[in-house]
């Protein structure tokens, strides 16, 4: 009798241990393994670490123009998207007085003429008057509605372009996708890679936060088609999206592959000539009716040959 009881008790103990072991293995395999950073120094150079792009620190990641007139007087506060930090750090180093940039080692000081709050923060700041120029991709409908609600009209001046790209793990045999297939995936109509000529495995359609630059770009592609919630993205083989500059940093590391869209790869040539179907402009954004003439001088510089050289050196496509 005691032996039977002991066997039952040991069985329960073993079962509980096995349940926890299974649960923790599942958490590791499905979640933690996928979010461990393998950033190499090469990738770090391409990805945006704020401290690597501080103007006037001699950073090799910031490209600036020599011998250009500096702005004087009322220096406009500049802000922008994470992916575009290299670009506007170069503009600032070229035409802003060094004393106007205050970086405390972790972030920009509130009194600094350069800020870094990312796309969502930058669009809010330009509307609220906390920034005078922001460097971003196009605004979302929500960001435009916020501006309208506050009675602010935004002027968007193109200063370059980049491609919006869709990426998969490089073990995925699918190389090409069409815009209709992208809409099918993100609306939930296409759920398995075999429908695109790939393996019989579920599609994990990853997305980003609302009002981020790349999520807004996806919403523009989707038009009126609702994007399905991503409850299932822990399973299957993923597809995601980003801007070309972000992804090219990873290509040397392996692990990801940029899909061609309608058979066209996002190269500087196909982006510049418009044949790549989802290229998008980079904008300098300011408030309509702005009275600070330095805002206009700064934007003129961005469009000038010197400014465009910074756009190109920073990894983006200059105005043609």
Q: Which residues 90-129 are close enough to bind other proteins by CB under 8 A? A: none
- Determine if 31 is a binding residue for other proteins (CB under 8 A): yes
Is the distance from CB of 74 to CB of 294 less than 8 angstroms? yes
State both tokens at 63: 């490209």
Q: How far is CA 293 from CA 101, 133, 169, 299, in A?
A: 19, 12, 48, 10
How many CA atoms does the CB half-sphere of 3 hold within 13 Å?
Answer: 0
Q: Near other proteins by CB under 8 A, which window of 62-70, 90-98, 202-210, 292-300?
A: 202-210
Q: Which residue from 1, 4, 11, 35 is in contact with other proteins, where contact means CB under 8 A?
A: 35
Nearer to other proteins, 6 or 145 (CB): 6
Closest distance of CB 5 from other proteins, Å: 8
Nearer to other proteins, 33 or 288 (CB): 33
Q: Which residue from 240, 280, 315, 318 is in contact with other proteins, where contact means CB under 8 A?
A: 240
Q: Which residue from 77, 84, 147, 167 is in contact with other proteins, where contact means CB under 8 A?
A: 167
Alpha helices in the chain (DSSP H): 2-27, 33-35, 41-46, 85-95, 118-128, 141-149, 179-187, 213-222, 244-251, 268-272, 293-303, 305-313
- Determine if 216 is a binding residue for other proteins (CB under 8 A): no
Alpha helices in 164-262 (DSSP H): 179-187, 213-222, 244-251
Q: Which residue from 128, 255, 300, 320 is in contact with other proteins, where contact means CB under 8 A?
A: 255
- Determine if 288 is a binding residue for other proteins (CB under 8 A): no
State both tokens at 179: 């815009």
Distance CA 157, CA 150 (A): 21
Closest distance of CB 207 from other proteins, Å: 8
Distance CA 101, CA 107 (A): 11
Closest distance of CB 126 from other proteins, Å: 25
Is the distance from CB of 177 to CB of 240 less than 8 angstroms? no
Q: Which residue from 101, 126, 168, 174 is in contact with other proteins, where contact means CB under 8 A?
A: 168
- Determine if 16 is a binding residue for other proteins (CB under 8 A): yes
| Contact footprint for other proteins (CB under 8 A) | 5-6, 9, 12-13, 16-17, 19-20, 23-24, 27-28, 31-39, 43, 47, 167-171, 204, 206, 208, 214, 237-242, 246-247, 249-250, 253-256
């Amino acid at each position: 009798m005691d032996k039977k009881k002991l066997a039952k008790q040991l069985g329960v103990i073993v079962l509980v241990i096995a349940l926890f072991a299974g649960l923790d293995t599942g958490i590791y395999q499905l979640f933690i393994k996928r979010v461990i950073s393998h950033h190499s120094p090469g990738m770090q150079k391409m990805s945006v670490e704020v401290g690597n792009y501080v103007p006037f620190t001699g950073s090799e990641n910031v490209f600036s123009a020599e011998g250009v007139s500096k702005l004087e007087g009322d220096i406009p506060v500049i802000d922008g998207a994470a992916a575009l930090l290299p670009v506007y750090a170069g503009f600032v180093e070229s035409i802003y007085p060094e004393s106007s940039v205050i970086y405390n080692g972790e972030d920009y000081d509130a009194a600094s003429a350069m800020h870094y709050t990312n796309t969502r923060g930058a669009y809010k700041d330009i509307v609220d008057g906390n920034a005078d120029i922001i460097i971003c991709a196009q605004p979302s409908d929500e960001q435009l509605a916020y501006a309208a609600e506050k009675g602010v009209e935004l002027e968007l001046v193109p200063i370059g372009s980049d491609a919006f790209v869709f990426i998969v793990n490089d073990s995925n045999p699918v190389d090409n996708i069409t815009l209709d297939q992208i809409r099918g995936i993100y609306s939930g109509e296409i759920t398995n890679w075999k429908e695109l000529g790939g393996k019989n495995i579920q599609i994990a359609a990853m997305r980003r936060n609302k009002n981020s630059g790349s999520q807004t770009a996806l919403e523009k592609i989707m038009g009126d088609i609702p994007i399905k919630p991503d409850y299932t993205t822990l399973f299957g083989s993923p597809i995601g999206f980003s801007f070309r500059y972000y992804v090219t940093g990873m290509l040397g590391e392996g692990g990801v592959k940029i899909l061609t869209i309608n058979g066209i790869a996002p190269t500087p040539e196909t982006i510049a000539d418009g044949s790549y179907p989802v290229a998008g402009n980079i904008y300098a954004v300011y408030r309509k009716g702005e009275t600070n003439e330095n805002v206009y001088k700064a934007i003129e510089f961005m469009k000038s040959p010197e400014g465009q050289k910074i756009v190109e050196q920073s990894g983006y496509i200059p105005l043609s």
